[in-house]
Amino acid sequence: MLTRLILLCSLLLASVAVSASDDSYTYANYRQVTVSHLHLDLDMNFEQKTLSGFADLQLNWLVSDATELYLDTRDLTISRVYGKQQNGNWQPVPFSLAARDEVLGSKLTISPAFQPQKLRIHYSSKPQASGLQWLTPEQTAGKTTPFMFSQNQAIHARSWIPIQDTPAVRMSYSARIQTTDKVLVVMSAPNDPATNRDGDYQFYMPQPIPAYLIAIAAGDLQFKAMSEQTGVYAEPYILNAAAKEFASTQAMIDATEKLYGEYRWGRYDLLILPPSFPFGGMENPVLSFITPTVVAGDGSLVNLIAHELAHSWSGNLVTNATWRDLWLNEGFTSYVENRIMEQVFGTDRAVMEQALSVQALQDELKTLSANDSILHIDLQGRDPDDAFSGVPYTKGQLFLMFLERQFGRDKFDPFVRRYFADHAFKSIDTASFVEYLNRNLLQKYPDIVSPAEAETWVYHSGLPTSTPAPQSDAFNQVRQHASNWLAGNIELAALPTESWTVHEWLYFINNLPLSISQPQLISLDAAFNLTESANSEIAHAWYLLALKTGYQQIMPQLEQYLINIGRRKLIIPLYKELASTPAGLAFARKVYQQARPGYHPLAQGSVDELLNP
């Protein structure tokens, strides 16, 4: 009963953000009117690569004399708009679509002469929608059934829904999707594992979420349960392997609930997407979207599942109000992820993952401007996708680790738990968080961390001198073994690699000097078959080292790697390194010509810029 009352209150407050600042990446006049519920009635056409139909927007007018509504769109065809009168009749209302802005898309202005409680917008998406990828049967593993999926974050929902595309506005939603009965459609809403594949699918998400968390996918999907609460949707070729790989998901949920309170979303399922998915995962509520590159066969990369699950508290339950505040989503989530890994898999593994993340951040900071190393980032008009560096993730995590270290878990854990409870189903900006932090932690336990220290973390560039430096005993041993081998003091056979985890392998490869000799690289490859590694993370690290050191033996396997994987984290650094030499650039362009049709639009844009600036 308590959960239902909380949900009811959250629905009433669905459109109210804690934020006092405005989101510069939306046209929406959400201070005057907000969307409280969205209903989609769409036809999914694989041949035309379009979603078409109508969207009903339930409106909450906040200003008594306001009669205009501004919505976000990108590459949508708007055919007509109706407003629902108090007598229940639908009346056509005027609308206009502005010229397309490269970042924001096109402003849709709807001008009824009254305040309708509901608007109906008839529209169609276009094949080039930045938030959708359409795969032909030939581009899937089964080769018989097409596949499509959405990726709305940061501001790509507007490419297939006319909506207030800002995390400051939260709404419940429902949908009816009609398509061929060859595919199963799933959405970021409760999905029934027993749903018939009949081409007519209906969904209802009762919890209010921002537009970027509305998600859809369709393909030759099957379901396999992992527990009563969790399961996997995937194409048949990877279904059993994924369910086995992620069998620890229920243990992760149980551990997180003990730390931070009730999981408030009902089921928690995973959708394994095709390799073209441009991210590791996407935290779409109830149904996290996951790359197949983490199905490693040994559970070594399941921290990604912990990360997406953690978003059920940080990001989905409590959301950044604008993309300047991304660290409130990702920093908290990276912190919670690591606490989950510690609870389920032990301290040693959690510390290794901390150390790898910190080392990656330190390397990345060498390439970023000072402005881009600030948690409360000023994007200066750039695409909000540019905010997704290691800074909001790892620097944000380190800030929370610093607070945990200073206050102790006995004080810090209850603070985080209360933060999630106090802001459940709300959006919050950085200034509001800093004020909440001061009131509920810094002032409650004075003379431990000053407001100035906390604000240095949030508003200043780089890493403060108080930054935690996680130390892994396992990594220290790996470093010593590597030093002894490089110095010629031991043979490769003496390295205790049979007991190494993936994390130790990554640390070993990432820290080999660029002065390493070709004979040493050849010996490494011969001993451990690194060029043929089936682990996508190890292969990536090895290929990157090989490119930097001129080890050409990887090139045939690298070509297949770039063609078969579209995850940006794994391919962008490789393309970037290839583009640093004329020969490498020529190779990259040749491979990309074959790979590009299978990449997501977000990956295409990144690689296009690298290879053809």
Its sign, for the CA torsion 240, 268, 35, 158, is negative
Tokens of 12: 């009433």
Reduced DSSP (H G I as helix, E B as strand, rest coil) percent helix, strand, coil of the chain, to 5: 45, 20, 35
Give helix 347-365 / helix 396-407 axis angle, nearest 10°: 130
The three state secondary structure string of 531-582 is HHCCCHHHHHHHHHHHHHHCCHHHHHHHHHHHHHCCCHHHHHHHHHHHCCCH
- H or E segment to which residue 388 belongs: none
Its sign, for the CA torsion 58, 64, 68, 70, is negative
550, burial (CB in 10 Å: exposed 0-12, middle 13-18, buried 19+) = exposed
CB of 15 closer than 8 Å to CB of 60: yes
Tokens of 158: 């507007």
Distance of CA 258 to the CA centre of its chain: 24
CB of 212 closer than 8 Å to CB of 152: yes
Catalytic residue among 235, 283, 308, 342, which? 308
Beta strands in 240-286 (DSSP E): 268-272, 281-282
Q: How far is CA 9 from CA 369, 536, 563, in A?
A: 43, 44, 48
CB of 414 closer than 8 Å to CB of 348: no
Whole-angstrom distance, CA of residue 209 vs CA of residue 311? 12
Whole-angstrom distance, CA of residue 165 vs CA of residue 418? 28
- 308 labelled catalytic: yes
Whole-angstrom distance, CA of residue 43 vs CA of residue 32? 32
Distance of CA 559 to the CA centre of its chain: 26
Tokens of 499: 């007991």
| CA contacts within 13 A on the Cβ side of 168 | 24
Secondary structure class of 335 (helix, strand, coil): helix
Among 154, 579, 546, smallest CA distance to 389 is for 154
Catalytic residue among 123, 393, 507, 599, which? 393
CB within 8 A of 499, min separation 6: which ones? none
Its sign, for the CA torsion 5, 9, 10, 12, is positive
| CA contacts within 13 A on the Cβ side of 463 | 25
Name the residues annotated as catalytic: 308, 393
